[in-house]
């Protein structure tokens, strides 16, 4: 950490419609260090990373790279300054070979009379792969290479590129590099990173605090788009970092706990011995009338896949899902919907709403059968139904005929909820219902969720923050590494704190 | 050791080349018809016919397949060929007028094809019109122009030089087949060993990632459409001189065999897989199949049906369904 910063960002702000992603964040990278960046989902880590490599331009703040102020146009521009990122889902083109990917778009040095020398490229590629200890042949298409090796190939590419642009001490940004790795591969990764550290700086983002504490020199903690604190890894304790990440006190009654009801006695959802190989091990649970059950766990804990199996988007290997006493056909979203199951997806723009259709059309989509008069859908009934739900769900829209694409994120989400409400669902699966929604709309959504519960609808939720999970849920199911590890009751006014839970998750 | 590395390189090449399935299909087609026609299929005369009939579909398919590698489709071949053929008839020595531009006809037809491809490419990239519509529209525009310019007449050609090229043979091999082979080898080398080729496959593999890596996607796409047009223009010259006459409908019924050849050759409709050699092999398989069916006196309408089945089956085997969110 000696000397001056290679890359220094000060007062960075960035807002998206309805949300402030970053609010005056400072972040520096020094020579030859590994700096860990931690924070809950939505704390602003990924936005900060995208700004570092020019994928996103900040609204305000200064960026000083290698001593001079910069504004980066795109990742290709960042590379010229020796700043590159290894993304979670990879940036290697799958149908090209390792060697072709290593030098993609920078083949000039291997060109003779317009033709590329495959021998020279192979030789250079082999040397690079040796440095990052990848045993695969350079002519293997990337699609056939294991995730661990792919990551190494990306790292090798970034190192080579910064050498090509004659940048000393490149900065490598790794986003959740260990989620796809086995234990052994993880150790290898960190061994190599520690070796690379001698000639580079590394920014490490991970949910696994253990590996951050063990492998970084310095840890920067973000919460709600602001810097919370910065600690030296040597003196850091995991529980202390957890505390900083989730914050302290709850704001009074943000989640309308007062309105939380006792679940009814009737079972709505019964999951029996459900398992899917490679994702989660056999698990069983029950959700009752009017009950809100929150599914918590890290990305990769298997909770997403459980939800996909519940709503039929994915097919479990064994076990069953029953709704109101009837077994659902595995892997059939149509059967799930027909049986009274609703799904509010994380990506409402692509999965939850038809953006090119009006609010009314979206709200009525599932109940057209009920709105018929003489065999045809009756426009007047359609309008009446839509207006009723727009009122009840407080959708702020100029008219029922407004296109959903023109609504704000919060009102789009309310439209999705209205669609399911009007179809009289029994069970609702809410996948990050308040993602990308501003504070006011969040409150409306919490109100709606409470009302749904009052009406007896059972709910399975996955939230953006642990706080929100705790605030909304009657009961919490904790998943870790594909196993259902614990169940925590969350009665109103006697809810456990985030700190009690995070230990179970990590 | 030297031999081992050579074998290794050969194996690597073969594995990556992705033509083993095509060679196998070709062998099966040959075997079936060799038996079915009691050897007539394998006679020197028939093999010469197959090679000569393969050349033009192969040239068209090779031009078209690069658009497919990008993940698009080019449907403009029939219109481009129609207009080029009409110009060949009007400008080369003919029975209708006194024009005789001689070898200058080559830049003329290549120019028409190249400009048509360039415009399709610009429509696709700059105006963001799906290649399917941009090229289909282009085909009809050029077809309309061709009929308008030629006033629907057939023009007999008198130029003997070109006739010689398209009907001649060298050591028993049709010259057209040699030209087609040379083009295939040239383009294959470009695809394997130049930056253009590398970027072509990067875009076909994942356009977003390719752009992120710094590939000039629009530029490559426009080049690909233009090259396709050049190949169509060349095939038009050969087609009309082989017929000895020029009329707009010469362009008809060229698209289906070309698309079939591309698919049968193993060029995935989802992009990123298959090269010039695949398109050419596909053309050879399709031509051999049709030649065999004729020799076995199969009803011509049944032959059309067989070709339809072959096209759908080939696509089913080659597309990468992970890349398709929805099938439309």
Condensed to tens digits (0 to 9), the pLDDT of residues B240-261 reads: 998 888 999 998 999 999 999 9
B214–A76 CB contact, under 8 Å: yes
DSSP 8-state assignment for residue A30: E
Residues of A in contact with B272 (CB under 8 A): 93-95
Say which residue the tokens 């709309």 belong to. Answer: A441
Q: How far apart are CA B208 and CA B213, in angstroms?
A: 9
Name which residue leads in pLDDT, B26 or A348.
Answer: B26
- Do B206 and A93 lie within an 8 Å CB cutoff? yes
Ranges of each domain in chain A: 5-246, 266-340+426-506, 356-424
Q: Which chain B residues contact residue A104 at CB under 8 A?
A: 198, 202, 210, 213-215
Token code pair at residue A120: 């020279």
Distance CA A443, CA A459 (A): 18
Phi/psi of residue A189, nearest 5 degrees: -55, -50
Among all residues of chain B, which has the CA nearest to that of A108?
A: B195
* Chain B residues touching residue A76 (CB < 8 angstroms): 212-214
Q: Which residues in chain B are closer than 8 Å to A154, comparing Cβ atoms?
A: none
For position A188, what pLDDT does the model report? Answer: 87
Cα dist from B315 to B25, B285, B287, whole Å: 15, 15, 18
User: A76 at the B interface (CB within 8 A)?
Assistant: yes
- Predicted local distance difference test score (pLDDT) of residue B8: 67
A41 touches chain B (CB under 8 A): no
Taking CB atoms and an 8 Å cutoff, what residues of chain A touch B273? 95
Spatial separation of the C-alpha atoms in residues A47 and A72, rounded to whole Å: 14
pLDDT of A279-337, one tens digit each?
899 999 999 999 999 999 887 788 889 998 998 888 899 999 999 888 999 888 888 88
Q: Return the pLDDT at B293.
A: 93
**What distance, in Å, lies between the first and last C-alpha atoms of chain A?**
28
Contacts of B214 in chain A (CB under 8 A): 76, 104-106
Residue A342, SS3? strand
Cα–Cα distance measured from residue A169 to residue A173, given in angstroms and rounded to the nearest whole number: 13
Residue A351 forms contact with B (CB below 8 Å) = no
CATH architecture of A5-246: 3-Layer(aba) Sandwich (3.40)
For A474, counting Cβ atoms within 10 Å of its Cβ (0-12 exposed, 13-18 middle, 19+ buried), the class is buried
CA distance B303 to B301: 5
Look at residue A249 in the predicted model and tell me its pLDDT: 45
Chain A residues with CB under 8 Å of B215 CB are 104-105
Do residues A117 and A110 lie in contact, with contact meaning Cβ atoms separated by under 8 Å?
yes
For residues A396 and A418, give the distance between their C-alpha atoms in angstroms, rounded to a whole number. 12
**Contact with chain B for residue A32, Cβ under 8 A:** no
A96–B202 CB contact, under 8 Å: yes
Contacts of A106 in chain B (CB under 8 A): 214
User: Across the interface, which of B192, B213, B272 has its CB nearest the CB of A104?
Assistant: B213
Report which secondary-structure segment, H or E, holds A196: helix A183-196
Task: Residue B109: name the closest of B241, B259, B223, B225 by CA.
Answer: B241
Nearest CA in chain A to B9: A139
Q: Alpha-carbon distance A478 to A502, whole Å?
A: 10
Q: Are B125 and B218 a contacting pair, CB within 8 Å?
A: yes
Report the C-alpha gap between A179 and A169 in whole angstroms: 26
Does A115 contact B at CB distance below 8 Å? Answer: yes
Q: A96, B198: Cβ pair inside 8 Å?
A: yes
Query: What are B13's two structure tokens?
Result: 């090449």
pLDDT band of residue B1 (cuts 50, 70, 90) is very low
Q: What is the pLDDT of residue A250?
A: 43
Please give the residue of chain A at the shortest CA–CA distance from B270: A95
CA distances from residue B308 to B218, B256, B312 in whole angstroms, order as listed = 33, 9, 6
Q: Which parts of A47-196 are beta strand (E)? A: 60-65, 68-69, 83-86, 111-112, 115-116, 171-175
A113: nearest CA in chain B? B194
DSSP assignment of A346-385: S-IIIII--TTSBHHHHHHGGGGGGGEETTEE-HHHHHHH
Whether A114 contacts chain B with CB within 8 A: yes
Distance CA A333, CA A79 (A): 44
Q: What is the CB neighbour count within 10 angstroms for residue A394? A: 15
Of residues B193, B201, B213, nearest to A116 (C-beta): B193
Are B12 and A139 an interchain contact pair (Cβ–Cβ within 8 Å)?
yes
**Cα-flanking dihedrals φ and ψ of residue B308, to 5°?**
-65, -45
Q: Minimal CA–CA distance to B213: which of A163, A53, A124?
A: A53
Question: Do B54 and B284 touch, CB atoms closer than 8 A?
Answer: yes
Query: DSSP label at B186?
Result: H
A91–B213: do the CB atoms touch at under 8 Å?
yes
- Pick from B195, B200, B208 the residue to mutate for testing the A interface (most A CBs within 10 Å): B195
Chain A residues in contact with B210 (beta carbon < 8 A): 93, 104
In CATH terms, the fold of domain A266-340+426-506 is Rossmann fold (3.40.50)
Count the helix, strand and coil residues of chain A and give each as a percent rounded to the nearest 5: 35, 25, 35
CA neighbor of B229 nearest in space, from B127, B139, B162:
B139
Q: Which two tokens stand for residue A297?
A: 């766990």
- Is pLDDT of B187 > 70? yes
Least CB-CB distance to A95: which of B194, B204, B215? B204
**What residue in B sits closest to A94 (Cα-Cα)?**
B205
Rounded distance between C-alpha atoms, residue A225 and residue A15, angstroms: 10
Residue that wins the pLDDT comparison between B88 and A345:
B88
Burial of A210 (0-12, 13-18, 19+ CB in 10 A): exposed
CB-CB contact of A279 with A318 (8 Å):
no
Look at residue B122 and tell me whether its pLDDT is greater than 90. Answer: yes
Task: Say yes or no for a CB contact (<8 Å) between A75 and B212.
Answer: yes
User: Mean pLDDT in chain B?
Assistant: 89
Centre a 10 Å sphere on the Cβ of residue B303 and count the other Cβ atoms it contains.
Answer: 15
Contact residues, chain B to chain A, C-beta under 8 Å: 12, 16, 189, 192-195, 198-199, 201-202, 204-206, 209-210, 212-215, 272-273
Which among B83, B138, B139 has a CA at the least distance from the CA of B109? B83
The verdict on a CB contact (< 8 Å) between A91 and B210 is no
**Could you say which residues of chain A have pLDDT below 50?**
1-2, 249-250
**pLDDT of B2 above 60:** no
User: Any residues with CB less than 8 A from the CB of B128 and at least 6 apart, and which?
Assistant: none
Is there a contact between A93 and B205 if contact means CB atoms under 8 Å apart? yes
Work out the average pLDDT over B94-111: 88
Q: What is the pLDDT of residue A20?
A: 79
How far is the alpha carbon of B101 from chain A, nearest alpha carbon, in Å?
34
Long-range contacts of B181-190 (CB under 8 A, 24+ apart): B181/B280, B183/B59, B183/B62, B183/B231, B183/B276, B184/B58, B184/B62, B184/B276, B184/B277, B184/B279, B184/B280, B185/B276, B187/B62, B187/B66, B187/B275, B187/B276, B188/B275, B188/B276, B188/B277, B189/A115
Kindly write down the DSSP assignment for every residue of A303-337, as one continuous string: HHHHHHHHTTSS--SEEEEEETTEEPPTT-HHHHH
pLDDT of residue A220: 92
Dist. CA B34–CA B292, nearest whole Å: 9
Number of residues written out for chain A? 506
Closest CA to B83 of B136, B131, B143, B28: B143
CATH 1.20.1280 fits B21-319, yes or no: no
* Number of inter-chain CB pairs under 8 A, A vs B: 61
CA distance to partner chain A, nearest, from residue B144 (Å): 36
Which residues of A are less than 8 Å from B270 in CB distance? none
Judged on CB neighbours under 10 Å (0-12, 13-18, 19+), B145 is: middle
Instruction: Give tens-digit pLDDT for B47-57.
Output: 999 999 999 99
Residue A297 φ/ψ, nearest 5 degrees: 160, 165
Checking if the pLDDT of B324 tops 70, the result is: no
Q: Distance between CA atoms of A48 and A37, rounded to whole angstroms?
A: 10
Q: Can you give the length of chain B in residues? A: 328
Which pLDDT belongs to residue B321?
A: 63
Whether residues A118 and B193 touch (CB distance < 8 A) is answered with: yes
Domains A5-246 and A266-340+426-506 share a fold: yes
Question: Which chain A positions have a beta carbon within 8 Å of B209's beta carbon?
Answer: 91-93
């Amino acid at each position: 950490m000696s000397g001056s910063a290679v890359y220094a960002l000060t007062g960075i702000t960035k807002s998206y419609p309805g949300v402030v992603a970053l609010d005056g964040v400072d972040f520096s990278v020094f020579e030859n260090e590994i700096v860990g960046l931690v924070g809950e989902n939505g704390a602003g880590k990924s936005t900060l990373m995208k700004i570092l490599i020019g994928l996103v331009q900040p609204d305000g703040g200064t960026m000083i790279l290698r001593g001079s102020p910069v504004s980066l146009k795109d990742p290709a521009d960042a590379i010229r300054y020796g700043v590159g990122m290894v993304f979670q889902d990879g940036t290697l083109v799958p149908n090209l070979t390792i060697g072709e990917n290593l030098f993609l778009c920078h083949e000039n040095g291997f060109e003779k009379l317009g033709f590329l020398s495959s021998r020279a490229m192979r030789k250079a590629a082999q040397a690079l792969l040796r440095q990052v200890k990848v045993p695969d042949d350079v002519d293997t298409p990337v699609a056939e290479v294991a995730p661990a090796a792919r990551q190494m190939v990306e790292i090798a590419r970034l190192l080579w590129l910064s050498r090509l642009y004659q940048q000393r001490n490149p900065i490598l940004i790794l986003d959740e590099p260990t989620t796809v790795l086995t234990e052994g591969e993880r150790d290898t990764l960190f061994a190599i990173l520690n070796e690379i550290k001698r000639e580079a700086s590394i920014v490490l983002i991970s949910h696994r605090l253990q590996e951050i504490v063990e492998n970084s020199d310095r840890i920067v903690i973000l919460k709600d788009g602001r810097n919370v604190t910065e600690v030296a890894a040597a003196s850091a304790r995991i529980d202390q970092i957890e505390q900083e990440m989730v914050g302290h006190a709850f704001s009074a009654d943000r989640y309308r706990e007062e309105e939380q009801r006792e679940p009814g006695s009737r079972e709505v959802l019964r999951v029996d011995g459900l398992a899917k190989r490679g994702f989660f091990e056999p698990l069983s649970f029950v959700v009752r009338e009017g009950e809100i059950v929150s599914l918590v766990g890290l990305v990769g804990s298997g909770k997403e896949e459980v939800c996909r199996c519940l709503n039929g988007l994915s097919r479990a290997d064994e076990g069953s899902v029953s709704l109101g006493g009837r077994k659902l056909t595995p892997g059939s979203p149509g059967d799930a919907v027909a049986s009274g199951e609703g799904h509010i997806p994380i990506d409402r723009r692509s999965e939850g709403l038809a953006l090119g259709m009006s609010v009314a059309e979206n709200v009525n989509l599932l109940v057209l059968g009920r709105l018929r008069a003489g065999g045809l859908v009756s426009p007047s009934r359609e309008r009446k139904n839509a207006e009723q739900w727009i009122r009840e769900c407080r959708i702020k829209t100029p008219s029922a005929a407004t296109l959903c694409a023109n609504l704000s994120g919060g009102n789009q989400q309310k439209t999705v909820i209205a669609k399911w409400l009007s179809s009289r669902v029994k069970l609702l699966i809410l996948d990050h219902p308040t993602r990308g929604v501003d504070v006011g709309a969040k409150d409306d959504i919490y109100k709606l969720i409470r009302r749904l519960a009052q009406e007896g609808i059972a709910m399975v939720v996955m939230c953006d923050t642990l706080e929100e999970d705790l605030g909304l849920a009657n009961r919490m199911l904790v998943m870790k590494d594909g196993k259902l590890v614990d169940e925590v009751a969350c009665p109103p006014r006697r809810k456990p704190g985030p700190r009690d839970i995070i230990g179970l998750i990590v | 050791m030297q031999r081992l590395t050579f074998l290794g390189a050969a194996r690597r090449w073969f594995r990556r080349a992705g033509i083993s399935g095509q060679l196998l299909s070709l062998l099966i087609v040959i075997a079936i018809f060799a038996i079915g026609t009691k050897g007539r299929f394998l006679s020197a005369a028939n093999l010469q016919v197959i090679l000569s009939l393969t050349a033009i579909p192969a040239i068209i398919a090779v031009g078209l397949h690069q658009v497919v590698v990008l993940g698009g489709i080019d449907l403009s071949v029939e219109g481009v060929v129609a207009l080029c053929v009409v110009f060949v008839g009007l400008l080369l020595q003919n029975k209708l007028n006194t024009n005789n531009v001689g070898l200058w006809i080559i830049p003329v037809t290549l120019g028409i094809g190249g400009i048509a491809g360039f415009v399709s490419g610009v429509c696709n990239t700059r105006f963001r019109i799906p290649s399917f519509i941009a090229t289909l529209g282009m085909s009809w525009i050029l077809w309309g122009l061709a009929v308008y310019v030629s006033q629907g007449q057939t023009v007999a050609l008198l130029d003997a030089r070109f006739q010689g090229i398209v009907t001649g043979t060298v050591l028993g091999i049709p010259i057209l087949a040699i030209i087609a082979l040379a083009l295939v080898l040239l383009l294959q080398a470009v695809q394997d060993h130049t930056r253009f080729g590398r970027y072509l496959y990067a875009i076909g593999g994942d356009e977003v990632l390719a752009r992120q890596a710094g590939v000039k996607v629009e530029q490559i796409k426009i080049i690909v459409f233009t090259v396709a047009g050049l190949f169509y223009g060349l095939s038009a010259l050969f087609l009309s001189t082989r017929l000895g006459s020029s009329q707009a409908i010469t362009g008809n019924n060229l698209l289906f065999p070309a698309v079939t050849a591309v698919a049968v050759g193993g060029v995935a409709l989802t992009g990123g897989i298959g090269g010039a050699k695949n398109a050419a092999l596909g053309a050879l398989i399709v031509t051999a199949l049709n030649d065999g069916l004729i020799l076995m006196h199969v009803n011509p309408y049944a032959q059309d049906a067989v070709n339809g089945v072959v096209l759908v089956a080939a696509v089913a085997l080659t597309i990468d369904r992970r890349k398709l969110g929805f099938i439309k």
